[in-house]
Structure 1
Amino acid sequence: MYAKKLVFLFVVLCTMTTANSFAQSQDQAVAQAVEKLRKLMIDPDKAGLEAIASDQLSYGHSSGKIEAKAAFVEALTSGASDFKTIDLTEQTITVVDNTALVRHRLTGETLDKGNAAQVKLAVLLVWVKQKGDWKLLARQAVKVQ
């Protein structure tokens, strides 16, 4: 009887450790996707942007403007939306099944249509795992002080 309890306890501990490791690896994979997106927004690459964005992308700007995938990619690759720097802080990641919610503060320098500006935003990103890769499904930003 004692041996059965000991084996049961061992199995439970192994399961908890495996589940915790899986959750941490999921968080790390999402964090890597966020970092890849940050770099692509500074140095846009059409193929890279198209690969990281879901075909159903809904990209919301702090101005209220909403873009689908094609418009999002075009704005960055054409220079209409031009980030010179992007710093992310206060990032949190919550993974539920194949969906990840990422919140962070974004500060950066832009040069949109030749006009230099500083941005300070609170951002919500929604990522979905599609065919083994994390894809950006939605983004919404709001201006903060």
Structure 2
Amino acid sequence: MSEIEEIAELEERRRKAMLDADIAVLDEMFADDLSYTHSNAVMERKALYLERLAAKHYDYRELNFLDQDIRVTGDAALITGRMTGEVVIAGQFRQLNSRTTVVWTRQHGRWQMLTFQSTPIPAP
């Protein structure tokens, strides 16, 4: 399996774990110094994001990772693409339609997600 295929599989595993609020899987996948920036510009570190996901502050109903362009260089992988879906945030329904940038780094012999950045796509 190529590194690009490996990263694509990790992204799919992450997508499913977010839908299932599988904190154990995400905790393993996320680097300890994760920076997760939502489309409303709120930035969270790993512990806070996982805490809020476990508490259903974020309740992902549908999540699609589309048009992913994966580039690997050394011990870093950069993914640019789109994310669509539906999420309930603190009781408020929200439709997702964003451009995303994700950075994975190889640490201690395995890939971990280091950064997520989401930028909303304006409605036409």
For 1:34 and 1:98, locate their aligned partners in 2 and report how far apart those are by CA, in whole Å. 16
For 2:98 and 2:52, locate their aligned partners in 1 and report how far apart those are by CA, in whole Å. 18
Matched, 1:123 2:100: yes
Q: What is the TM-score when the length of structure 2 is the normalising length?
A: 0.93
Partner in structure 2 of residue 12 of structure 1: none
TM-fit CA distance, 1:34: 0.7
Segments of 5+ residues of structure 2 without an aligned counterpart are none
Q: Select the structure with the greater relative contact order (CA < 8 A; seq sep ≥ 6).
A: 2
Quick check: which one's helix share is greater? 1
Partner in structure 2 of residue 27 of structure 1: 4
For 1:92 and 1:133, locate their aligned partners in 2 and report how far apart those are by CA, in whole Å. 20
Letter in 2 for 1:93: I
% of aligned pairs identical? 33
For 2:50 and 2:34, locate their aligned partners in 1 and report how far apart those are by CA, in whole Å. 10
Quick check: which one's strand share is greater? 2
Aligned alpha-carbon RMSD (Å): 1.1
Larger Rg: 1
- The number of equivalent residue pairs is 122
Segments of 5+ residues of structure 1 without an aligned counterpart are 1-23
Question: Deviations along 1:79-119, whole A, 9 cap, x unmatched?
Answer: 11111010111110000001000011000011122222211
Partner in structure 1 of residue 112 of structure 2: 135
Q: What is the TM-score when the length of structure 1 is the normalising length?
A: 0.80
For 2:90 and 2:33, locate their aligned partners in 1 and report how far apart those are by CA, in whole Å. 27
